[in-house]
């Protein structure tokens, strides 16, 4: 090698030499160190609050109801910290592990109320699901409520969210008679 060798010539010269055992050990130690550091590297995903278990609608959330999980991509409308949702009320039921969004915790309207309706037909009660829309019909055929969202189902009981005036009327009629619901 001449005295006027360029940096590229020096790299080529080093590459042609056999690496010594010391260099191989140094390289192995460096790779082991890199592996150890990356194994304990924190997850830098996108945090979102999820339900820790299945939760019914209308439940004020506590710290044991939710947990923070990291996702690979951001979840639109999600909350980055547990403190953002504790004390707020669910407007709809939530499944365990599903991120809670601003739609799930929308402020309840003072004009709405939830009412439990005992459905006369058990077969129909088994078909009605969370999120379904139903009409409530009395035994005389009078439509008491239209397009009511189902918030929860338990056997023959279906919980609906209605305007307060309709909810009061449905509750009063259901004291004397079983009601029917029609699916939309």
117 and 147 assigned to the same domain: yes
83 and 122 assigned to the same domain: no
97 and 131 assigned to the same domain: no
User: Is residue 147 scored above 50 in pLDDT?
Assistant: yes
171 and 119 assigned to the same domain: yes
pTM for the whole thing? 0.48
82 and 126 assigned to the same domain: no
In a domain, 28, yes or no: no
Confidence class for position 38, pLDDT limits 50, 70, 90 = confident
What is the predicted pLDDT for the residue at 125? 73
Confidence class for position 52, pLDDT limits 50, 70, 90 = very high
Confidence class for position 50, pLDDT limits 50, 70, 90 = very high
Among the listed residues 51, 54, 52, 100, the one whose alpha carbon sits nearest the alpha carbon of residue 78? 100
User: Is residue 172 scored above 50 in pLDDT?
Assistant: yes
Give the structural domain span for 163: 112-183
User: Is residue 87 scored above 50 in pLDDT?
Assistant: yes
Kindly report the average pLDDT of the chain as a whole number.
82
Output phi, psi for 142, to 5 deg. Answer: -80, 130
In a domain, 162, yes or no: yes
124 and 166 assigned to the same domain: yes
In a domain, 159, yes or no: yes
What is the predicted pLDDT for the residue at 49? 92
pLDDT tens by residue, 20-37: 766 677 788 889 999 888
149 and 168 assigned to the same domain: yes
Domain stops at, among 62, 86, 104: 104
Confidence class for position 1, pLDDT limits 50, 70, 90 = very low
For residue 63, what is the domain's CATH number?
3.90.1210.10
What is the predicted pLDDT for the residue at 23? 66
90 and 119 assigned to the same domain: no
128 and 179 assigned to the same domain: yes
User: Is residue 84 scored above 70 in pLDDT?
Assistant: yes
In a domain, 22, yes or no: no
Domain stops at, among 83, 104, 125: 104
80 and 54 assigned to the same domain: yes
Q: Which residues contact 89 (CB under 8 A, 6 or more apart)?
A: 58, 59, 60, 61, 105, 108
Measured distance CA(57)–CA(151) in Å, rounded: 6
77 and 121 assigned to the same domain: no
Q: What total of structural domains would you count in the chain?
A: 2
CB 50 within 8 A of CB 98: yes
In a domain, 19, yes or no: no
pLDDT tens by residue, 100-116: 988 787 665 678 788 88
pLDDT tens by residue, 88-145: 888 778 889 999 988 787 665 678 788 888 887 777 778 888 778 888 888 888 899 8
Domain stops at, among 70, 104, 138: 104
- Over pLDDT 90: what percentage of the chain? 8
71 and 119 assigned to the same domain: no
Confidence class for position 67, pLDDT limits 50, 70, 90 = very high
């Amino acid at each position: 090698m001449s005295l006027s060798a360029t940096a590229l010539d020096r790299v080529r010269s080093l590459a042609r030499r056999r690496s010594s055992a010391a260099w191989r050990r140094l390289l192995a130690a460096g790779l082991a160190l890199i592996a150890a550091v990356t194994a304990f590297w924190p997850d830098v995903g996108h945090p979102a609050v999820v339900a820790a278990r299945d939760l019914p609608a209308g439940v004020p959330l506590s710290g044991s109801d939710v947990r923070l999980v990291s996702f690979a991509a951001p979840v639109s409308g999600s909350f980055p910290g547990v403190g953002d949702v504790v004390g707020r009320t669910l407007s709809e039921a939530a499944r365990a592990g599903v991120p809670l969004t601003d739609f799930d915790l929308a402020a309840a309207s003072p004009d709405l109320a939830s009412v439990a309706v005992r459905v006369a037909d058990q077969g129909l009660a088994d078909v009605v699901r969370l999120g379904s829309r139903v009409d409530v019909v009395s035994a005389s055929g009078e439509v008491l409520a239209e397009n009511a969202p189902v918030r929860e189902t338990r056997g023959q009981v279906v919980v609906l969210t209605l305007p307060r005036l309709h909810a009061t009327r449905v509750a009063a009629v259901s004291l004397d008679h079983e009601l029917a619901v029609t699916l939309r």
